Amino acid sequence: MHVKKFVCGPLKTNCYLVWDEGKAVLIDAPQRCSQPVLDELAKRNLELVLVVNTHGHWDHIADNAELKEKTGAKIAVHKGDEKMLWSPPDGVASSRADTHLDESDLIRIGSAALEVIETPGHSPGSVCLYGAGMLFSGDTLFAGSHGRTDFPGGDHSKMLASLKKLLKLPPETKVHPGHGPETALGKERWIGHM
Ligand SMILES: [Zn+2]
């Protein structure tokens, strides 16, 4: 499974194109990610089959509609955040989910797969994706910190439980967060002291 990171939009949101055997999935769709992602798909002759939103905040969903229109990719989000796609802030295109993400769902990408881990706290429908030794952690876990819980739908005690759930994964797991640099789970020992 191959991974390419793009950093896009005013909040410098990370999105990740992951692919295997000609099939690609995009993890999050921040503002102005469409063109670089489309260029990458063309360059590598990849079919974008799915856009997964780690959660429904506007900076992770803004280019859903454009990517769906231009590639035919389906949109996947957890039910808990689905309504955020329908009514985003002014200036952000609304979109509709084609499929919902639930705990332990497998997202197949060629011969590889990513497993859905429900991690509410930053938002009700936040998820992380785990597979091939990697964790795509959205705005749940960043290098050295966790996502805010003071937005509508945020819940600090749920965030704590979600972080502790992630800590059960192997320490060598490489973490690709929704903002900022990569890390490894083993470097985020502060979670155990929360
Ligand atoms: Zn967020």
The string of pLDDT tens digits covering residues 71-107 is 999 999 999 999 999 999 999 999 999 999 999 999 9
Alpha carbon distances (Å) from 145 to 26, 58, 59, 97, 181: 24, 21, 19, 29, 11
Q: Are strands 145-146 and 99-100 parallel, antiparallel or unpaired?
A: unpaired
**Could you tell me the distance, in angstroms and rounded to a whole number, from the CA of residue 21 to the centre of ligand 1?**
31
Share of the chain above pLDDT 90, in %: 98
SS3 110: coil
Domains and CATH numbers, the chain: 2-193 (3.60.15.10)
> What's the one-letter identity of residue 39?
D
Contact between 175 and 143 under an 8 Å Cβ cutoff? The reply is yes
Give CA–CA dist 110/1, Å, rounded: 8
**Could you tell me the distance, in angstroms and rounded to a whole number, from the CA of residue 136 to the centre of ligand 1?**
13
Give CA–CA dist 50/75, Å, rounded: 6
**Could you tell me the distance, in angstroms and rounded to a whole number, from the CA of residue 112 to the centre of ligand 1?**
27
SS3 27: strand
Report which secondary-structure segment, H or E, holds 184. strand 183-184
**Could you tell me the distance, in angstroms and rounded to a whole number, from the CA of residue 31 to the centre of ligand 1?**
13
**Could you tell me the distance, in angstroms and rounded to a whole number, from the CA of residue 144 to the centre of ligand 1?**
16
Q: Are strands 13-20 and 99-100 parallel, antiparallel or unpaired?
A: unpaired
Residues 6+ apart with CB under 8 A from 68: 51, 74, 75, 95
Tens digits of per-residue pLDDT, 9-38? Answer: 999 999 999 999 999 999 999 999 999 999
**Among candidate residues 24, 85, 33, the one with its CA nearest the CA of residue 54:** 85
**Could you tell me the distance, in angstroms and rounded to a whole number, from the CA of residue 120 to the centre of ligand 1?**
11
**Could you tell me the distance, in angstroms and rounded to a whole number, from the CA of residue 87 to the centre of ligand 1?**
15
**Could you tell me the distance, in angstroms and rounded to a whole number, from the CA of residue 192 to the centre of ligand 1?**
23
Average pLDDT over residues 137-141: 98
**Could you tell me the distance, in angstroms and rounded to a whole number, from the CA of residue 54 to the centre of ligand 1?**
9
Q: Tell me which residues have their CB within 5 A of the ion that is ligand 1.
A: 57, 139
Tens digits of per-residue pLDDT, 165-174? Answer: 999 999 999 9
**Could you tell me the distance, in angstroms and rounded to a whole number, from the CA of residue 179 to the centre of ligand 1?**
9
Residues 6+ apart with CB under 8 A from 80: 120, 123, 124, 125, 126, 153
